[in-house]
Structure 1
């Protein structure tokens, strides 16, 4: 009886420890098709893509994305289809051929200063309007380096969508 109690107690503790960090557990999930982490960020490879209710051309189109390089979060995989969501939590299933592994980020703050160094006191390179999309070059601690056209600079992660808080990217 005592051994059974200890086994049950150990199982309960294991579950409790796992529930203590649900984000860590989610970050460790892998896609059944690609074996890449879920969730993960990708970008839209084309100027137009249909997001469908299910992973097949016969499913109804819920959204039409019309912005190349838009960052999207992949939350599930099925064969050649990826379930994605945008910054508003909207989305659906998109064929994988329409997605790129290139990381981009969308500026969420209006007139966000793009800095020459990852420091709030650094000189401004540009002021970015809300909705600008740039290619992520790297991220460290609380800052990400973005390239927008021929201009490179640093923004705080807190004003970007397309990168997780604290994410490191080389």
Structure 2
């Protein structure tokens, strides 16, 4: 009886550890921290380059294989990225549609910033969220506000 209980507890511990690892990896958000990063079809430079993204592009982490992370973008597409090109130290946002306005303050009463509108996949670092508005900074240091439903934040 003791052997059965021990085996069951060992199985339960192993199953819980594996499940916890998968659940944790699948819920992690990450951002590109370098100026540019290549997204690939598989985990390694020998795999086809599918897309080049820029600093602050957000992704949802789905898994890890060695020094590579399996990621998902705003559209649900799956890629692999070299792990050292990513960070989880801050949140990032990406524009969901073309011709999206950014404003100088958190509301439509504030003027549109001179460098707007921006297009889909324009990525930014999230500085803070204030009700339905997100304060963001682009890779050149320009700051603006955007209406929360217009971005995907990770």
* TM-score category of the 2 structures, normalised to the smaller one: 0.5 to 0.7
Measured on the aligned residues, the alpha-carbon RMSD in Å equals 2.7
Gaps of 5+ in 2: 1-22
Q: Deviations over 1:73-124 (max 9, x none)?
A: 2122344331101222222332211223343322223332222221222232
Instruction: Figure out how many residues of one structure are paired with residues of the other and give that number.
Output: 127
TM-score (norm 2): 0.65
Call closer, same or farther: CA 1:150–1:92 in 2, change over 3 Å. Answer: closer
The 8 Å contact of residues 52 and 94 in structure 1, kept in 2 or not, is answered as no
By relative contact order (CA 8 Å, sep 6+), the higher-ranking structure is 2
1:64 has 2:50 as partner: yes
Alignment of 1:35-114 (within 5 A): 38-43=27-32, 45=34, 47-53=36-42, 55=43, 57=44, 60-61=47-48, 63-69=49-55, 70-101=57-88, 102-114=90-102
Q: Deviations over 1:131-161 (max 9, x none)?
A: 3322221123321111133431210121112
TM-score (norm 1): 0.60
Give the structure 2 partner of residue 30 of structure 1: 24
Alignment of 1:129-168 (within 5 A): 129-131=118-120, 132-148=122-138, 149-161=140-152, 163=153
Q: Deviations over 1:15-67 (max 9, x none)?
A: xxxxxxxxxxxxxx423xxxxx71413225252424233x4x38743x43312
Gaps of 5+ in 1: 1-28, 32-36, 165-170
The 8 Å contact of residues 51 and 65 in structure 1, kept in 2 or not, is answered as yes
